[in-house]
Amino acid sequence: MSPSTAAAPLLQVRNLRVEFPTRRGTLVAVDDVSFDVAPGEVLGVVGESGAGKSLTGAAIIGLLEPPGRIAGGQVILEGQRIDDLPYEQMRKIRGARIGAIFQDPLTSLNPLYSVGRQLVETIQTHLPLSAFDARARAVGLLKEVGIPGAETRVDHYPHQFSGGMRQRVVIALALCANPRLIIADEPTTALDVSIQAQIIALLKGLCREHGTAVVLVTHDMGVIAETADRVAVMYAGRLAEIGPVRDVVKNARHPYTRGLMGSIPSIGGHAERLTQIDGAMPRLTAIPSGCAFNPRCPQAGVRCSIERPDLMRAGPSRAACWLYDSAGVGAPAAREAARG
């Protein structure tokens, strides 16, 4: 049984809307996004640059850069709504119940302090431990994330660690207070492939051992395929498709997702050409009516440029595409797409 079906949701995102007020009007960067994450589950959030995936993660954790704001919807953590909390209250939750891992570890680490001091301060902020016990926990965390010689390395400074080791320190920081949820935004992008694999294995192990839920934001489908239980594909601020990672990777339902999967080279494949998605993702100032993907979609019909589809059942997944309209409109096309 997968984590998503074995337990009640740890995180619930309901109709999330993120806006950026400007002089020329309000830009909608995340539009009506909903999903759940269960304890111990890794939900991958994938999409091109500008799809809204990082903003979704920032909104969940309460770190939207002004003038960005949550303009609608709810974020519920373990039954408690957290998107409308005062700043100080949210700051306490962010350290204790939600951890964060960002792309560049140097932005998360203070170069003037040893990693041990940073870990101890974070631990003592959220847990009632003495300095001695907090240091012991810091060393234990460094060991858990795979840093050799943790007893000595705890007194070293960030510049004395390699990129991969710094990212491990950031993961240790995220784990200081045993959070129930981790938001990981492009945690492996700046690392070489061998280090990526180690970080992926580390995240998966943490989920298994601690029951921690992870929202993994990335543009790398290889990382998603290796790490996630389910995947949410975003396009122009909305969910295009969400479902079990194996089904989405092997049998994508949304035309955009099929294009994404077709653009990934296969080691054992013999394709002469990779799939190409014509055009580019629309700017926030020029999102087309109807389905945002319709100008680039090879299967677009008249309805696609007029009505915007919600997520619909499409096999094991759900796709925001009129091909899967249960009312019957587009059903023959859906059967044809499923065969293909």
Q: Residue 270 has what pLDDT?
A: 60
Q: Residue 267 has what pLDDT?
A: 58
Place of tokens 């012991």: 136
* CA proximity to 29, closest of 8, 10, 11, 54: 54
Interhelix angle for 115-126 vs 87-96, to 10°? 120
Residues of the chain with pLDDT under 50: 1-5, 328-340
Decide if 223 contacts 196 (C-beta within 8 A).
Answer: yes
Q: Residue 150 has what pLDDT?
A: 97
